[in-house]
Amino acid sequence: MMHEFSSHLASSASGNKFFRAHDHELHCIPQDVHHLSIIPTQFDSEIYFSSFTELRELRTLLLVCKSQLESIDSQFHVMDVKALDEFFHNFKCLKTLDLSQTDLRELPESIGYVTSLCFLGLNNTNLRGLPNSVCKLFNLQTLELQNSAFLVELPIDIKNLTSLYHLDASKEHGTIYVPPGIGQLTKLQTLTTFTVGGVSWNCKLSELAHLNSLKGCLHIRSLNNVENAEDAKGACLATKKLKKLSLEWCPSGEDVESDDRIYAAEHVLDALKPHLFLEELNIKGYYGLKFPSWIADHTLSDLVSITLDNCYNCVKLPTLGTLPVLRCLFIQNLRGVQVITSEFCAAGIIINSKNFPKLETLKLCDMYNLEGWYDMLNGDFPSLRRLSIESFFRP
């Protein structure tokens, strides 16, 4: 989101309103600049925010990381920022601040004074936590925290950011927990990750109930912490115009799941039927014995991609052959499946029709107990271009 803006600043800076400077050129910055981007010249650049004391009209400050510049090799952390506390006290009219990909480890409490702030970018930093004063930024519309490796939870009063439209706290490894009350942010359009449960609190899935402006991608993690189907149904996923939905259960550590946990997982997934216009569905770690009927519902007519990963208790594949525009299907580590039958392709459900009419990519991987695939009809998979079958022997 900020990449396009920062690239624009870096390429079209003109006059004193927009200005681009390398880290060794801070003395050249005009005092009446409104929008400023700083570019590092080396990996371990240090930026002292006390250098900006005289820039009283500053509205935008972007630290442009090397990975955003085509001419410089990508690096992870590129700047060490200093003297932020004084900066926040003096620049209360700042609207856009991007400190992404810096060595930032602590955000001062004084961030709460910058009440005009609309955008705060903190992607790929070393932050251990956010001060609760962040929750005083009542005009904040976008908060980006992607891949903050050491950040584990958001401040308890995040519910006070009622102007927030976009909250991205996703990361490849680990989890950033959101606190109870997140459901009060009814303007939210982007909530990339929602983890049920928490470290300091227990955030329930029903917090999603009134977030009906959500769109784009949503990854719901730790669904094993959902207490019952009613809580799952309370999330009202069918009212959210999501394009991509990922549903993930975490393993219990037991070799065999109890009957109660299997039963609960099946009812929870059944209650999580998404919006009809969903395009991509990922299910990971699900330990029910069967998939819900809605996954094969022909009303999900926009589904383009489905991934079923590590659903190890499922004994048969869902009926997916009638999905009209499904193009990619990835099935991995469903070790409970011993045979694939005509039910998978929906043979005979629709007379004189070809099953999987648009499927182009099919990948089956780590199906260690699969013994055979039977009753596939001539004419099925008419659009198939890539078929991958991997690791079918027990390790």
Determine contact, residues 248/219, Cβ cutoff 8 Å.
yes
Strands 45-48, 79-82: pairing is: parallel
In terms of C-beta density within 10 A (0-12 exposed, 13-18 middle, 19 or more buried), how is residue 200 classed? exposed
The residue type at 151: L
Alpha carbon distances (Å) from 92 to 50, 64, 109, 381 = 15, 22, 13, 60
- Residue 268 burial (C-beta neighbours within 10 Å; 0-12, 13-18, 19+): buried
CA angle 373, 264, 208 (to 5 degrees): 105
pLDDT of 68: 46
- Return the domain boundaries, the chain: 1-151, 315-395
- Domain 1-151 sits in CATH at 3.80.10.10
- Note the pLDDT of residue 350: 55
Per-residue model confidence as pLDDT tens digits over 264-277 = 999 999 999 999 99
**Sites in the chain below the pLDDT cut of 70:** 1-15, 42-45, 65-80, 199, 252-256, 347-352, 392-395
pLDDT of residue 352: 56
pLDDT of residue 4: 44
Q: Are 96 and 119 in contact (CB under 8 A)?
A: yes
| Model pTM score | 0.88
pLDDT digit string, tens, across residues 318-370: 999 999 999 999 999 999 999 998 889 875 555 557 899 999 999 999 998 99
